[in-house]
Amino acid sequence: MGYICCEMIKFPSASKKIVPSGCRAMIGQVAGGGKTEKPILKAENAYHKYRVKRNSWPKVRAPGQKVGLIAARRTGRIRGQAAVSAAKAD
């Protein structure tokens, strides 16, 4: 086994670490790291994100595929004696 040379690395936090000189590594943070974790708050940002990509945005809905109940006064089962009698009167 031969002699292994070591190198001392000084970090921005002023701490020091000794590693073998044959070690090959990148130290620090990747530029632009975490960029995709940020929420897209506006449609404008989504537009610029997908503009250079394929036709995947916006995903629009065809007629008859609307989400939710359209123009509903109320939803759910009518409960209670007064509510049932009022519903029958209408």
Tens of pLDDT, residue by residue, the chain (90 residues): 556 788 898 988 899 999 888 888 777 777 877 878 889 999 999 999 899 988 888 888 777 666 667 777 777 777 777 777 877 776
Q: What is the pTM of this model?
A: 0.36
Task: Output the six-digit token pair for 8.
Answer: 């001392």
3-state secondary structure of 43: helix
Task: Output the six-digit token pair for 41.
Answer: 């708050």
